Amino acid sequence: MKVCLIGYGKLGSSIAKGLRNAGVEVTVSTLPPTDEWAREDGFSVVPMRACAEGVDLIIVAVPPSAVPAVMKELRGVEVPITSTAALVKLGELKKYADKVYRVMPSVTVEVNSSPVLVAERGGGADSVVEAVWGKLGKVYWVNERVLDAALPVVGSGPAVHAEYFRSAVEALVASGVERSLAEELARESIIGTIKMLEKYDPYKLRSKVETPGGITVEMLLKLEEEGVFGKIAKVLGEKGRELSR
């Protein structure tokens, strides 16, 4: 499979590396200075129309404000297009191309382990979209409203989740644990928790940990009293509702 990737920034570079891990041939078209970064990472960089020739799929990973210019330059190209841009709706993309999709992944595509929301089925090239994006994680076909609602947890997710990880590490360091050990302990604990969440719902998991009268319930009630978890749900939920309006 061959892919043309437009944009080699924070997300684009992760997409390119993830696709390469999976054996997909990637050609890049991007602006300076990221063209040099792509070459340094071993990708071939060419002008946009040349990039779009003879490939199975085009991935547009440019800032939302640059999408209209890129889509105009791709006008008339028959290859299906997937846009990763937040905020640029499918209706807007369809003004420029027939076979076009919105995709919402996260930078964890770099390790081939991202949820990938795709809107919407029936865009004229579903199987090639599934085949390429399926190399980067797990594909979920959804309507656009769901893609937007999920953006704060999927697209922004790694940054948000990493802040919890960081807080756990700081807590250990504050208690006198060496930072390298603290990082390892927090990471292993989170990996184990994710595996348990495949078996148990969060309420059940919490009840397995909370010893009556013990320290877990004491700490969690304190965090709840301070509104920590409610605040996360409120802010991410409000953003999802705003985006999916």
Ligand X SMILES: NC(=O)C1=CN([C@@H]2O[C@H](COP(=O)(O)OP(=O)(O)OC[C@H]3O[C@@H](n4cnc5c(N)ncnc54)[C@H](O)[C@@H]3O)[C@@H](O)[C@H]2O)C=CC1
Ligand Y SMILES: O=C(O)[C@@H]1CCC=N1
DSSP class of residue 49 equals H
CB atoms within 10 A of CB 88: 20
Helix (H, G, I), strand (E, B) or coil at 175: coil
Place of tokens 């997909």: 24
Q: How far apart are CA 165 and CA 159, in angstroms?
A: 10
* Phi, then psi, of 83 in degrees rounded to 5: -110, 130
Peptide bond into 33 cis (omega under 30): yes
What does the binding site for ligand X look like in residue numbers (CB under 6 A)?
6-12, 29-31, 34, 61-64, 66, 69-70, 84-86, 104, 106-107, 155
Cβ proximity to ligand Y: between 86 and 205 the closer is 86
Q: Which stretch binds ligand Y (CB under 6 A): 71-79, 140-148, 150-158, 168-176?
A: 150-158
Near ligand Y by CB under 6 A: residue from 155, 182, 236, 240: 155
Nearer to ligand X, 33 or 176 (CB): 33
Q: 71 is in the binding site of which of ligand Y, ligand X, none (Cβ under 5 to 8 A by kind)?
A: none
Cα 210 to Cα 25, 44, 199, 201, 213, distances in angstroms: 50, 54, 18, 15, 8
Binding-site member from 21, 143, 156, 244 for ligand Y (CB under 6 A): 156
Per DSSP, 156 falls in state: S
Please report how close the Cβ of residue 2 comes to ligand X at its closest, in angstroms.
18
Tell me the closest approach of the beta carbon of residue 135 to ligand X, in angstroms.
Answer: 17
Site string for ligand Y, 43-82 (x = CB under 6 A): ----------------------------------------
Q: Are 81 and 106 in contact (CB under 8 A)?
A: no
215 is in an annotated binding site: no
Is 203 annotated to bind ligand? no
* Nearer residue to ligand Y within complex by CB, 155 or 240: 155
Report, in Å, the least distance between residue 64 CB and ligand X: 5
Sole window of 93-101, 131-139, 149-157, 189-197 interacting with ligand Y (rule: CB under 6 A)? 149-157
| 120 upstream amide cis, omega within 30 of 0 | yes
Residue 126 contacts residue 99 (beta carbons within 8 Å): no
- Is 147 annotated in some ligand binding site? no
Q: What order do you get walking across the sheet with 137-141 strand by strand? A: 44-45, 25-29, 2-6, 57-60, 81-83, 100-104, 114-119, 137-141
Contact range with ligand Y by CB under 6 A, out of 13-21, 117-125, 151-159, 207-215: 151-159
Q: Which does 146 bind (CB under 5 to 8 A by kind): ligand X, ligand Y, none?
A: none
Binding site for ligand Y (CB under 6 A): 86, 151, 155-156
What residues form the annotated binding site? 6-11, 30, 61-64
What residues form the annotated binding site for NADP(+)? 6-11, 30, 61-64
